[in-house]
Structure 1
Amino acid sequence: MFDIVLYEPEIPQNTGNIMRTCVAIGAKLHLIEPLGFKIDEQKLRRSALDYYEHLNYVIYKDFNDFAAKNKGTYLFLTRYGKKNYADIDYPKFEEPLYLIFGKESTGVDKKILAKHLDYCYRIPTTDKVRSLNLSNAVAIVSYEVLRQFNYFDLIQTEPETHKGKDFLDQFIEKEDEL
């Protein structure tokens, strides 16, 4: 349905959190070099926790390498976007959809953004901050896309492979116990 693309991510903890989000929603992760960390770095794995083995990801040497190997619609999430990400009708896209997020310090290269102005969107904020944390931004936009698709096949209750949907029932107090 859609993939997450990180353009030159710098902070391993953010990327690790995004890896976990990708596993949770079943999205493929594309990492565009240079990376600000080694992919096997301890901080990265700590953030991704035990979900790392379930992650579907690819690393590219630069944006041109990514673009040559991935055709579809690119949506850039940037503070310079003039349109709201929530106003997009995501189900209308028939080709593969790539949500592209820039590096923490400077975002996506401005020349790349300028070539795709009609596909630059932002998450609304006050004028007190330049942008949101990268992993938060990925989660916000990803879950809006999923909401518009009624969350596809995502599980709506605690899975039986974990604690199960009725886990909290054991904590219900009976009237005579009050």
Structure 2
Amino acid sequence: MHIVLVNPQIAPNTGNLIRLCANTGNDLHLVEPLGFRLDDSLLKRGGLDYHERTRMTVHPDLASARAALPGRWFAFSTHSTRRYTDVSYQPDDVLVFGCEGSGLDEDVSGQFDPAHSLTIPLRPNNRSLNLANAVSVVVFEAWRQVDFDGAAEKDERVEGLTGELLDGTPFDR
């Protein structure tokens, strides 16, 4: 599966999604302009030591990303009415999310058929979820539908990585 972030603005969110993609086997695609530099320390902190385990591509625009990713494309928006759980996901699907402040703009969301425009249900009078949280919700549902293909068995997991990086460096450095 491919995760596409259009104009992401907050480095720690993207860093968290680098970590998510490493742990779920998804590719991460960033569409410029970015609201941060790729060498940003907050991006690295959010991604921990998972940067090397994630396939990440930066595209100059959405058209370039579309040309590179031939699967089914799904846009996520609070303005959609079809729930993300109403889709049978496939391994080559492309999941598209907008920036933290405004989501997908009308030019982008207008490129999607309503059947490929999805939402995550929220309680009344709430605007949205944090971008990294929203992507995580959808990614784990999609991965569940393909029976967690590629997931580690219990004896293959590394335990106890909550306070430091694999090399022993504390998070706060």
**Residue identity in the other structure for 2:87:** I
Distance in 2 (alpha carbons) for counterparts of 1:23 and 1:14? 14
Report the TM-score when normalising by structure 1: 0.84
Q: Aligned to 2:109, which of 110, 113, 120?
A: 113
In the TM superposition, 1:11-160 aligns within 5 A as 11-91=10-90, 96-116=92-112, 117-157=114-154, 159=156
Decide which structure has greater helix share: 1
Q: Secondary structure at the match of 2:129?
A: coil
Whole-angstrom CA distance in 1 between matches of 2:39 and 2:3: 19
Larger Rg: 1
Q: 1:55: Cα distance to partner? A: 1.5
- Structure 1 distance, partners of 2:142, 2:87, is 9
What are the superposed Cα offsets for residues 81-105 of structure 1, whole Å, 9 maximum, x if unpaired? 11000111114x7xx3101111001
Report the identity percentage: 34
Q: In the alignment, what sits opposite 1:168? A: none
CA distance in 2, matches of 1:156, 1:129: 38
SS in 1 for 2:147: coil
Q: Is the deviation greater in 146-155 or in 5-14?
A: 146-155
Q: What stretches of structure 1 of length at least 5 have no aligned partner?
A: 165-178
1:17 Cα deviation after fit:
0.3
TM-score (norm. length: structure 2): 0.86
1:43-68 CA deviation, whole Å, 9 max, x = no partner?
10011011112121100111112112
Once superposed, which parts of structure 1, at least 4 consecutive aligned residues long, lie more than 4 Å away? Answer: none
CA contact 2:25–2:150 (8 Å) conserved in 1: no
Residue identity opposite 2:117 in structure 1: C
Mapped partners of 1:163, 1:83: distance in 2: 38
**Residues 71 and 93 in structure 2, CA contact (< 8 A), matched pair in contact too:** yes
Distance 1:158 1:108 in 2: 40
- The number of residue pairs the alignment matches comes to 159
